[in-house]
Structure 1
């Protein structure tokens, strides 16, 4: 937890933001999910309606939910595009109660009605816990079931037996595994990205499953092609008002988060000028800009080095060279970040490289996330993960799917052949 959703750094040493490098928070499944969560206010029955009201009035959302977001208007008020959404739950109990309230509002029986024990004994959130092995055994009918989990919890090796009525839902892969940050004076240090590396527990588990059963997909196709999946980002923190005013002057600031594409850049630089402040503790006289590059393993136009070998200061020199900024900058720090698997979910693949959400031979387990198969849906946005979770719970627990989900899951032979490739 916290590997991707974080806000690191400060105004003195430079912020390190992950913006623009996560699944895009957009799509019908996201709206459906937000529309199923009660807002806690009588005037706004759901979180989605609260966000819609906030957008209409250009006012921040209810601070009770600790929700921070920037919205862009689209052609349809119902089809919101959220550029930045962080929903904070105060405690584990809040999260569990939120789940139950959501189910009750939709007219379904409470989750606790189906549990073998009382609610507080049936729900347990384990933190500081790593799954080291998943034991899959054959059932009497020939199907496979997860029968045991090997865990390291708080530093101790333990075993969790899976009862016959239990289900196991696993998220496969990780686009942020192996990421590393540099400083204003040093380039990011590349970390090992071997599939079994301790940083990549999600990949290691998938690789272990793949050796047991080919129907679980091919993780090697996604986690070992660094040259094709690598992406780099950077965060500029500046107290130089002249630099900020210059950037605003060349950007169309009618919409929040204007993106400037530097087409002549060998790195294929993209620079975002977001609405300020970006961080809650950011001083008023400090500005944060972020950007990314599609080809970090090429030499720059102005700095004759591979981007992955550049310090933050050298990256800023390259950016300003393309922009034609006439003077030196002051009081500015740039933090670079390398992400070797950031676009791995979009690599060219065969039809069997991504596993089904619930494999045909599985009895009590399913897969979710950006590396499982939904034939007619792009894995680039956050709604993909939401839809996979809805399908997994529907097929394993009998929970009805949302109405629109059936359209997403319909497939034809031609749609199954659609391959996505980032570059």
Structure 2
């Protein structure tokens, strides 16, 4: 038996690990095809040729959730700490560097807002409770704004929840409901981000590199620069089976013929598809799915096959799924970090997101524990930020963030903090445009996402943010890892249970604490 993984994101890497660890498949019988030179998908992190660092983003982790992720990482050896797994390394690091934000929201006057209260009226509480208690059938493909009134979106709660998880008011009501249930235990400590866990370095170096190193030692084949452009599907015992893959690399196409027992795991689409980066002087180019082809194969095989999902539900409105991020590399001058730490009251790595709630761009920044990259020098410091409304005109720069180079983004940031722009005299800022970054949050019907293994599939599984998993939440590492574990166990008939979702929303203590916070 051979296994073919289309896409080299965390879902495919996790799936390959589960096939080896729990399915007994030889690594040499596993091939991962990745169009880009870097594995890890959205969990990327890289030093650019000019010496600047670039991160598209980083996913939130907690040790109270993400059961499949920690199950996986408990088996992967740390690269930095021999004798420890990545899971143990991460837990140890967070015991030493605990998060407790003291400046979660900042207003236009650079005043740190008191966020011990969620800012709810009784009407807000009633509406939120109605949404939480509604069934997914009732919610259907409705939007959040169909269930919550305009004043709700001015509460402390919404500003914190929105920027922690990247929700927009026009996103899916079902996805918000799932988040409210899945992360109910985080509600009472939302203003401090006390439940958020960080990795020792950026998630590429802390998760992807150890995982790919382990997979490589097991003999897994990685084909970088290889894009699967088509798959031949044929009937087999009343189901559909993949018989061959068309692979394009180095400007030529070839066909990989599959044997009857071979398996295919497909990362259908990517939230960072068609992303692009700019420079200090130039904004990122405006790309779409036509520039990268990340959605093309899913659209091709789903046409006329409803059990394979409906990509159009997610990729048809870039203005509703787009936001932009930026990575700043400070060199020789530590003034920004020093002033930011003095202002927030948090050492770097302990505060989490600082959101400028009155920012036209709705900008947030986070200072990581340093170094954030293993090869950082002592004179370098790296932080990251993002904006949920990059197509709006700035408050200190008279144009949208989408049209700004890194220098203009830093000027806007200094305006909100009232810092001397000289703190960034030797810094570089790399902006990143991501047109589909929250596409998985778009309103959709249940049938728009395929199951990890559709009922009509013989040997094809879907492992991505665009599959249907009951009760779990997209835009997390866990969702991709859980999809991969479910798919691997089902196709290989592995007699080991997939870790259950921890239902904190059914804990009496969590419910009492949540109600107390809602009425504070």
In the TM superposition, what whole-angstrom CA distance separates every residue of 1:226-278 from its partner, at most 9, and x where no partner exists? Answer: 00110101122234333332112112325535321101101100011122222
What's the secondary structure of 2:198's corresponding residue? Answer: strand
Greater relative contact order (Cα 8 A, min sep 6): structure 1 or 2? 2
Aligned to 2:227: 130
Aligned to 2:457: 362
State the Cα distance separating 1:55 from its structure 2 match.
Answer: 4.6
- Structure 1, 47-56 or 331-340: larger mean CA deviation: 47-56
State the Cα distance separating 1:47 from its structure 2 match.
Answer: 4.0
2:397 to 293, 296, 303: 303
Q: Which has the higher strand share?
A: 1
- Structure 1, 85-94 or 266-275: larger mean CA deviation: 85-94
1:372 to 460, 463, 467: 467
Query: TM-score scaled by structure 2?
Result: 0.63
State the Cα distance separating 1:340 from its structure 2 match.
Answer: 0.6
What's the secondary structure of 1:134's corresponding residue? Answer: strand
Q: Give distance in 2, aligned partners of 1:271 and 1:284.
A: 22
Alignment map for 1:268-417 (pairs within 5 Å): 268-326=362-420, 328-329=422-423, 330-402=425-497, 404-405=499-500
1:81 aligns with 2:117: no
Q: Give distance in 2, aligned partners of 1:38 and 1:332.
A: 35
State the Cα distance separating 1:53 from its structure 2 match.
Answer: 4.3
1:220 aligns with 2:312: yes
Name structure 1 gaps, 5 residues minimum: 59-73, 99-119, 409-423
Q: Give distance in 2, aligned partners of 1:298 and 1:156.
A: 42
2:68 to 29, 40, 49: 29
Q: Give distance in 2, aligned partners of 1:241 and 1:40.
A: 29
Aligned to 1:248: 341
Q: Give distance in 2, aligned partners of 1:35 and 1:162.
A: 32
Q: 1:35 to 1:80 in 2, by over 3 A?
A: farther
State the Cα distance separating 1:148 from its structure 2 match.
Answer: 1.4
1:174 to 257, 270, 278: 270
The answer on whether the counterparts of 1:268 and 1:294 sit within 8 Å (CA) in structure 2 is yes
- Structure 1, 244-253 or 171-180: larger mean CA deviation: 244-253
Aligned to 2:284: 188
State the Cα distance separating 1:207 from its structure 2 match.
Answer: 0.4
State the Cα distance separating 1:279 from its structure 2 match.
Answer: 2.8
Alignment map for 1:42-53 (pairs within 5 Å): 44=83, 46-53=85-92
Name structure 2 gaps, 5 residues minimum: 1-35, 98-185, 190-194, 504-520
Q: 1:305 to 1:134 in 2, by over 3 A?
A: same
Query: TM-score scaled by structure 1?
Result: 0.76
Aligned to 1:208: 300
Alignment map for 1:110-125 (pairs within 5 Å): 124-125=221-222
Q: 1:80 to 1:241 in 2, by over 3 A?
A: closer
RMSD across aligned positions (CA): 3.0
1:148 aligns with 2:244: yes
What's the secondary structure of 1:238's corresponding residue? Answer: strand
Q: Give distance in 2, aligned partners of 1:216 and 1:324.
A: 51
Q: 1:401 to 1:376 in 2, by over 3 A?
A: farther
1:266 aligns with 2:386: no
State the Cα distance separating 1:41 from its structure 2 match.
Answer: 12
The answer on whether the counterparts of 2:414 and 2:421 sit within 8 Å (CA) in structure 1 is no
Aligned to 2:215: 95
In the TM superposition, what whole-angstrom CA distance separates every residue of 1:349-376 from its partner, at most 9, and x where no partner exists? Answer: 1111111111111111111111101020
What's the secondary structure of 1:258's corresponding residue? Answer: coil
Q: Give distance in 2, aligned partners of 1:269 and 1:142.
A: 52
Q: Give distance in 2, aligned partners of 1:40 and 1:316.
A: 34
Q: 1:392 to 1:233 in 2, by over 3 A?
A: same
Q: 1:155 to 1:379 in 2, by over 3 A?
A: same
In the TM superposition, what whole-angstrom CA distance separates every residue of 1:302-348 from its partner, at most 9, and x where no partner exists? Answer: 11211101121111111111111246442232221111111111111
Q: Give distance in 1, aligned partners of 2:211 and 2:321.
A: 36
